[in-house]
Amino acid sequence: VATDGNRREPLERVRVGMVGAGFMAKVHSLAYRDAVALDFGRVPELELVRIADLDPERAQETKARFGWREATADWRKILEDPEIDLVDIVTPNHLHAEIAVEAARAGKHVLCEKPLASDVTAAQEMADAVRDAGVASQVGFVFRKWPAVCLARELIDSGRLGRILDFRGHYFHDYALDSELPMDWRVDRNLAGAGSVGDLGSHVIDLARYLVGDVSRVFASTRTVIPERAPSHPAGPFRVDVDDAADCLLEFASGARGTLATSWMTAGHKTDVGFEISGDAGTVRFTWRRSGELMFYDHADPEEHQGFRTIYIGPKHHGAERFWPVAGQGLGYGDAFTILIAELLGGLRTGGAITPDFSDGLRAVEFVEAAQVSNEREAWIELESASTAGVRSPTAVRR
Binding positions for ligand NAD, rule: CB under 6 A = 19-24, 52-55, 58, 75, 90-93, 95, 113-114, 140, 142, 199
Pick the closer one to ligand NAD by CB: 54 or 353: 54
Residue 84 three-state SS: coil
State the DSSP code for 54: S
Nearest approach, Cβ of residue 51 and ligand NAD (Å)? 9
Nearest approach, Cβ of residue 241 and ligand NAD (Å)? 17
Q: Please give the residue whose beta carbon sits closest to ligand NAD in the complex.
A: 22
Pick the closer one to ligand NAD by CB: 52 or 261: 52
Q: What are phi and psi of 16, to 5 degrees?
A: -105, 140
Pick the closer one to ligand NAD by CB: 219 or 286: 286
Nearest approach, Cβ of residue 66 and ligand NAD (Å)? 14
Q: Which residues contact 5 (CB under 8 A, 6 or more apart)?
A: none
**Which strands make up the sheet holding 272-279, listed edge to edge?**
309-312, 293-298, 282-287, 272-279, 164-172, 257-263, 245-252, 215-223, 381-382
Pick the closer one to ligand NAD by CB: 162 or 193: 193
Residues β-bridged to residue 139? 112
Nearest approach, Cβ of residue 53 and ligand NAD (Å)? 4
- Residues 89 and 95: their CA atoms lie apart, in Å, by 9
Q: Which residues contact 27 (CB under 8 A, 6 or more apart)?
A: 333, 334, 337
Nearest approach, Cβ of residue 26 and ligand NAD (Å)? 8
- Residues 59 and 27: their CA atoms lie apart, in Å, by 14
Pick the closer one to ligand NAD by CB: 140 or 274: 140
